[in-house]
Amino acid sequence: MDMDALDRVLKKNGASAYMMVGSSDYADMRYLTRFITTDPVVYIRKIGERGYIIVSQMEYGRALHEAATGVMTRADAGLLRIYEEERDRWRALARMVADHAGGKILVPPDLPYALGYHLDMLTGVITDTGTIASMRAKKSRAEVASIGRVQRSAGKAMAHAIGCIRRSRPGKGVLWLDGKPLTSERIRSEMHFILMQQGCLAKDTIVSCGRDTAAPHNRGSGPLYEGEPVVIDIFPCDERTGYYSDMTRSVVKGEPAPEIREMYDAVKAAQDLAASMIKPGISGQEVYQAVVDLFFSRGYRTGSEGFTHNLGHGVGLEVHELPSLGPGGGPLKQGNVVTNEPGLYYEKTGGVRLENIGVVTRTGFRCITSFPRELVVGV
């Protein structure tokens, strides 16, 4: 972690300390503390000092062994004493934080309003604009390895899903497997089971078919159909490390419509172009615009139909984080882990998307996703 970046922001804003509150579901908290907890804890860090968390007595022993910070109980931090004087729990918490900070406090923009209000009355607050999110965007080797592990698990789930489609047999236009219609719900459930066996959690996995694929985030439902595009988008999280991966494949069982083949070829070419351009220093907007131009040269527009979303995004302790590969996307840096996911979507035709994930290296882009790209998975 580049904690100097946080110190620079504190000094620039004339703040004495940075603080936040939340459980480990809050990505910034998990990043700075490496402590896993369902109960909210308070994190405080002064300039040049080691940050520490304030936890309940019940969590103190575990936090001492697991947290990457100093640890203090609520009693030792003075909160229980303050509770005896204050009826409002947010004001009590604010008093405790103010006592430890010793001056103006830099806070994240999503700090609970009640806490921020009382802190501002007591000592003054300054709203940060995303320093921790920017720090998280540059991944260490250990973080890249964690993302690689969950990506391999995602690949196993994807292989099972496409294997089911490949083994299916058409009947009156519907795909059948093991004597039953092959549905989005069945594939989604089986993918999630495989991921659970790998120590990963997934939700809202997309298995859409036919015209449903024209809406990029349509989860899909019901039977899958012969000759129709099936978009499978999975973004699991490793339960132990908290890191995500993200991948998408589009496949057809049977003979796809010529329009779908052409869209697939264009999306694949766009993904290859983006992969060849990604490197330190180039902006996410430049890479995105190159893909927009490629699609335009092939007759596909950008807007409400065609290419309707950004080219990519960062992935880490959140499935969508910095940096952005889209309009306004800034310079990419070595250590960024980003998706490369061009797609085309038309209401009357359907949609096609391919998504890989990779790390920005010193000289270019190293793709972490090794899963094959193939449109037709059985005729």
- Percent of the chain surpassing pLDDT 70: 100
C-alpha span between 321 and 358 (Å, rounded) = 14
Task: Compute the distance between CA of residue 325 and CA of residue 357 in angstroms, rounded to an integer.
Answer: 12
Any idea what the CATH number is for the domain that residue 172 is in?
Answer: 3.90.230.10
Average pLDDT over residues 95-107: 96
pLDDT in tens, 138-155: 999 999 999 999 999 999
In a domain, residue 373? The reply is: no
In this predicted structure, what is the pLDDT of residue 378?
A: 84
Residue 234 included in any domain: yes
Tell me what pLDDT residue 314 has.
Answer: 98
Domain match, 150 and 29 both: no
Q: Determine, yes or no, domain membership for 233.
A: yes
Q: Are residues 218 and 269 in the same domain?
A: yes
Confirm whether 178 is domain-assigned.
Answer: yes
Domain region containing 163: 138-367
pLDDT confidence of residue 87: 85
Does 192 map to a domain?
yes
- Domain boundary residue among 136, 159, 190? 136
Residue 375 lies in a domain: no
Tokens of 186: 């069945």
Residue pLDDT, tens place only, 111-133: 999 999 999 999 999 999 999 99
Residues 161 and 203 in one domain: yes
What is the chain's mean pLDDT, rounded? Answer: 96
Tell me the C-alpha distance between 281 and 273, whole Å.
17
Q: Which residue has the tokens 């304030």?
A: 54
Q: How confident is the model at residue 105 (pLDDT cuts 50, 70, 90)?
A: very high
Mean pLDDT of 166-192: 97
pTM above 0.85, yes or no: yes
Give the CATH number, domain containing residue 27: 3.40.350.10
Cis peptide before 256 (omega within 30 of 0): no
Residue 128 inside a domain? The answer is: yes
Q: Same structural domain for residues 257 and 343?
A: yes
Secondary structure string (H, E, C) spanning 123-147: CCEEECCCHHHHHHHECCHHHHHHH
